[in-house]
Amino acid sequence: MNEERWPANSYDEARDVLVSMLKTYRTERRNLEQQKRLVQEAIASLGGARTSNLDQTRVQMQHGDYAMVQRIERIAAERRGLERELESLGAQERRLNRLLRAVGELDTYEKHVVVGQYIDGRSAKDLGDMIGKSEDSIALYRKQALRKLTRIMYLIVDNTVGVKEEYR
């Protein structure tokens, strides 16, 4: 399977992509689950036969009912499209799971700050009040967390970026 590369060419770009992913995590996760459910329901509505079985049935019926052959071809094509869409959704899900695993590797305060500020949308002042730290400390934790996450998520060598092997 061909895994997508992270869309970043430098550390700063990688950090910006990471912040964007964190800010949209909940919405993306919710949308992803809805899309997967809809695609799975659409596949189920086409019947239980796999695409390869439909193709085989079409070949067997070539000399039979032309309308039935056309219907099978349409269903097979529709199913292939839905299966490709499901694969794409799986890649998006893996990307979100990688992000979640990387956040899990942070220190406790860094996790609180990243989740609180980016995923929950809380202000630095609110976070400071919640965990008993100053706004300056929150800013420091955020900076450390983003640096760690960027390095965890991306293999950065000589200002080039790739996906760290364990996050593929």
| Percent of residues, the chain, with pLDDT higher than 70 | 74
Scan for tokens 């809380």, then name that residue: 122
Residue 1, Cβ neighbours under 10 Å: how many? 7
pLDDT tens-digit series, residues 115-124: 999 989 999 9
Scan for tokens 């590369």, then name that residue: 5
- Judge whether residue 19 has pLDDT over 60: yes
Q: For the residues of 28-44, what is the DSSP string, one character each?
A: HHHHHHHHHHHHHHHHH
Q: Which residue has the higher pLDDT, 26 or 7?
A: 26
Rounded to an integer, what distance in angstroms lies between the CA atom of residue 27 and that of residue 123?
19
pLDDT of res. 14? 78
| Percent of residues, the chain, with pLDDT higher than 90 | 37
Q: Which residue has the higher pLDDT, 10 or 15?
A: 15
Rounded to an integer, what distance in angstroms lies between the CA atom of residue 132 and that of residue 33?
35
* Contacting residues for 94 by C-beta, under 8 A, at least 6 apart: 3
Query: What radius of gyration, in Å, describes the C-alpha atoms of the chain?
Result: 23
Lowest-pLDDT choice from 1-5, 38-42, 50-54: 1-5
pLDDT of res. 45? 84
- Judge whether residue 10 has pLDDT over 80: no
Residue ranges per domain, the chain?
Answer: 11-167
Lowest-pLDDT choice from 52-56, 87-91, 113-117: 52-56
pLDDT of res. 43? 84
Mean confidence (pLDDT) of the chain: 79
pLDDT of res. 36? 93
pLDDT of res. 74? 83
* pTM for the full predicted model: 0.67
pLDDT of res. 46? 79
pLDDT of res. 160? 45
pLDDT of res. 144? 94
